[in-house]
Amino acid sequence: MTMHKKALVLTIIMGLMLTWSLASCNGNADGWGQDVAAFDADSVKKELTVSLTADSVSPTCTLRMNIIYSKADSLREANRQLISSGIIVPDYFSIGGGMSDIPLAVDSFIRRYTAEYQRDYRSLYEVDKDHLESYNIEYDVNTAVRQGRKGIVVYTAEARYCSGALHDTQTLVARNIDMDGKRMLTLDDVLVNGSEKMVTELIVKQLCEQYDAEDIKQLNEKSIFNGIDPYPSRNFMLEADGVTFIYNADEIATHDVGRILVKISYSDINPYLKVRV
């Protein structure tokens, strides 16, 4: 075979390999995107400000809500579970049958929240008008969905609560939708029974790496799990490459440490999962 023919054959082979590689990559991307597509997301966006009194100058309560939900009939139960799982607080919908119609649920939440604000704060403000700013409230919730591991849609709610406190309260709540079972998964659904101790050890090990600590004692010195037994958070994400446990500010450490995210790769946590990846 001449050098020219060898070069031509090599070019063809490399072209075929590139085509197969791109097809494989696109296939994986399409596969990963199918779960989010099947979720068929829509959202309800609301913003409302109410005054505490009829005075020309009055404290106010402002709500800003961007709540994603599924339009798929098969996921109505998942919608009900989501809205009843603390993605917005107070969790008015955890008692009783809940609501699967998310736009109606958001309207119901706003009416009740603002009514309780006016009822509970008005009498306090009437005798404390020198501290008007203390009675101003802002509550923002923004939600998102993204692909988790295969078969899972990760739903997150990022909330900010601001009042007369010294600092805002910011929280991240994550929920995992099983697209095959059409329901929200809890930690008990994910972890093998009796594996909590081993998973906790993985979390402590990862925290030591993140915070340059040798052991739990040194983590305690950094205020992490100081006076608290370590535990796997029930607020978690089944992501594409691992399980991320979420600890919001003030949950397992002092406020200055902030939010703590601990990701454990599937290669490490797989032995303790009911469905291995």
pLDDT digits (tens, 9 = 90+) for 42-95: 999 999 999 999 999 999 999 999 999 999 999 999 999 999 999 999 999 988
- pTM comes to 0.87
For range 228-244, the mean pLDDT: 98
Residue 9 pLDDT > 90, yes or no? no
**Distance (Å) of CA 220 to CA 207, 217, 235, 245:** 11, 5, 22, 18
Model pLDDT, residue 164: 81
Stretch (H or E) spanning 68: strand 60-70
Task: Label residue 96 by pLDDT band (50, 70, 90).
Answer: confident
Mean pLDDT confidence for 34-39? 97
The pLDDT assigned to 1 comes to 52
Q: How confident is the model at residue 2 (pLDDT cuts 50, 70, 90)?
A: low
Q: Give 122-179 pLDDT, tens digit per residue.
A: 999 999 999 999 999 999 999 999 999 999 999 999 999 999 866 799 999 999 999 9
In 3D space, the residue among 115, 148, 165 whose CA is nearest the CA of residue 237 turns out to be: 148
DSSP 191: B
pLDDT at 31: 58
pLDDT for 32 equals 55
- The phi, psi pair for 82, rounded to 5°, reads -60, -55
- What is the pLDDT at residue 22? 33
* Rounded Cα–Cα distance for residues 87 and 91 (Å): 8
- Length of the chain, please? 277
Tell me the C-alpha distance between 243 and 178, whole Å.
Answer: 15
